[in-house]
Amino acid sequence: MPNYHIEAIDSCREKLDGVKGKFPECADGLPTTCAPDMYGQLAGSGAISSAVDTMAAALRDEFQKAGERAGQISGALDKISVSVQQDEEVNAEMMRLESR
């Protein structure tokens, strides 16, 4: 029978719960749009501005996905913890019944 360290699993889950909302917050300071004149009057200012907008949007999406993934992993760890605890309770009850 495998040996699970429930306290460690729960500790990981709690830490993930604590940070999952922080991933999207990482993108809070990113600009939603950058005006081309922010880069001066160069001919390529519009292209630079567009590239920065695209990159910022991609970063926001990735930080959002990271937060969602942390939540999913936390949920999976919770299911493992609950399942292992239930299995241990059932096994303990079976051993009590067998020892009678």
Q: In degrees, to the nearest 5, what angle opens at C-alpha 83 toward C-alphas 99 and 15?
A: 130
pTM above the 0.85 mark?
A: no
How many Å apart are CA 31 and CA 95, to the nearest integer? 62
Looking at residue 4, what is its pLDDT?
77
Looking at residue 2, what is its pLDDT?
67
Nearest to 34 by CA among 48, 47, 49: 49
How many Å apart are CA 41 and CA 47, to the nearest integer? 12
Q: What is the pLDDT of residues 11-38, one digit of tens each?
A: 999 999 999 999 999 999 898 888 888 8
Residue numbers of the chain with a pLDDT score lower than 50: none
